[in-house]
Structure formats: C-alpha cells, structure tokens
C-alpha cells in the first residue's frame, strides 16, 4: 500500500518539475537488493504506466528475496518483463529450508550465479554472538546473511574495476548442473566467448544463465588457479546432492 503512493508522489513531482534540463533526463537504471529488487520491478511498472519522462531501461536485481516470493505470479516479483534489460546476481539461492534468502530461479534476461549461486566462498567462517540463542546453527545463519549480501558487493566492485580498467567478472554460460560446472570452471574467458557480470552486463548480447568464479576475499574479481581450486571445494559442498546429475 505504501509503494503505490510513493511512486505516485515521485511521478507527480517529476511531471510538475519544469526546471532547467528537465527534458534531458536520461533512462533510469534501477538497482535493488533482496526485497528491494522486487520493489524495483514494481516501481518500473508503475513509472512506465503513469508517465514516460523517466523511462526505466534496466533493472539490476541483487539476490532478489525468496521468502514470500517464490512460486508467485510474475506481477508480484521482479521479472524480465519489467524492463528492456533485467540482470540478476544470485548469491544465496538455496531452498528456504536450507536458509536460502535469495530466489534460486532465473527471472531476468541474464542471470548470474557467482560460485554456483548458493553460498559464497569466505562466508563460512564467523565468530559466535547473539545468534547462539537461536535454534539454528550460528554458522549457517551467518553464512546465509553473508552470501545474501555479497551480491551488492560484487556489483560495487564491478563499478570500481570498470573505472580502473583492471579486472572483469567474466561469466561462462551455464545450464545450472553440477556436471557442467566441472567442465567450464577452468575454461579461459574473454569478451569474445563470455559475458561480464556487473555494471557492464548490458554491453553484451548473451542471454541466459551464467556461472562466475570469484575470490573469497576482496578484491573478489580474480581468476587465479588458487581461486579456482577454492571455488571447486565450495561447489562440492553446495552440490553434494547433485553429484550424479
């Protein structure tokens, strides 16, 4: 109920704004994390329906929230129909019963699954705190929260790397099976055969689902042999039930 009124307020403000340069406003790129990703989809639909001064051309969904949104109608959650280009970064797309906070399903024009998209390297180690009082293992809770938040860290680093021109989150096309992961994880990658996760995703023509290896600590954009071996170990833990697919 709040979101429609908010969008209407913003829309009316822009329509009534006759200040200098108002006719030169460019297309919008909306970015949202978790619940914010779904709000971006809703906002894009409302803005494009109410007026055309601000055209939403791109939405980047950062590990869109799973609770209450899985297996729902496309009008409820972020979907590729919400904008001409919708890219999604999945970092904690596990079943909710396994403490997955993000949607595992592909919902965009291009969906990136860093390190398989279930849990992220470097998120397993944590110190005890008030989480000890919950009836769920502390490490599992913190791992889920850490992995869920990595999505916006990856996007932020892609902006930094793009400015510095020193690294790219190269992404291999992936059919979402463990067997295919083992085939592609160590393959070479460049702009001729792969696409790029992050701010530059819309510069490539590839569409579909993609796998991206990252380091366990910042800077996360790295493709050394040590990083690949660490990602392999992470994948073995995340896909224990998929070994035979």
Q: Active-site residue numbers?
A: 34, 63, 148
**Adjacent-strand bridge partners of 130:** none
Q: Which of 109, 116, 76, 121 is closest to 93 using CA atoms? A: 116
Which uninterrupted H or E stretch holds 172?
strand 169-173
C-beta atoms surrounding 218 within 10 Å = 13
**Adjacent-strand bridge partners of 174:** none
- Gyration radius of the chain over CA positions: 19
C-beta atoms surrounding 76 within 10 Å = 12
Instruction: Tell me, rounded to whole angstroms, the distance of Cα 80 from its chain centroid.
Output: 13
Whole-angstrom Cα distance, residue 15 to residue 54?
10
């Amino acid at each position: 109920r709040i979101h429609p009124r908010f969008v209407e307020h913003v829309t009316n403000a822009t329509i009534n704004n006759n200040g200098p340069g108002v006719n030169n406003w460019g297309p919008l790129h909306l970015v949202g994390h978790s619940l914010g990703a779904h709000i971006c989809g809703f906002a894009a639909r409302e803005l494009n329906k109410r007026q055309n001064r601000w055209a939403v051309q791109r939405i980047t969904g950062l590990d869109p929230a799973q609770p209450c949104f899985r297996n729902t109608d496309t009008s409820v959650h972020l979907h590729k129909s919400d904008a001409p280009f919708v890219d999604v970064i999945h970092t904690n797309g596990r079943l909710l019963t396994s403490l997955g906070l993000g949607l595992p399903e592909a919902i965009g024009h291009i969906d990136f699954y860093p390190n398989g998209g279930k849990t992220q390297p470097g998120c397993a180690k944590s110190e005890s705190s008030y989480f000890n009082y919950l009836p769920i293992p502390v490490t599992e809770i913190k791992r889920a929260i850490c992995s869920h938040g990595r999505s916006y860290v990856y996007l932020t680093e892609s902006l930094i790397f793009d400015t510095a021109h020193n690294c790219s989150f190269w992404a291999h096309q992936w059919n979402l099976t463990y067997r295919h992961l083992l085939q592609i994880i160590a393959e070479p990658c460049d702009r001729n055969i792969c696409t790029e996760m992050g701010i530059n995703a819309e510069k490539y023509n590839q569409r579909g689902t993609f796998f991206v290896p990252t380091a366990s600590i910042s800077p996360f954009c790295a493709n050394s042999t040590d990083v690949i071996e660490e990602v392999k170990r992470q994948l073995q833990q995340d896909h224990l039930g998929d070994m035979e697919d």
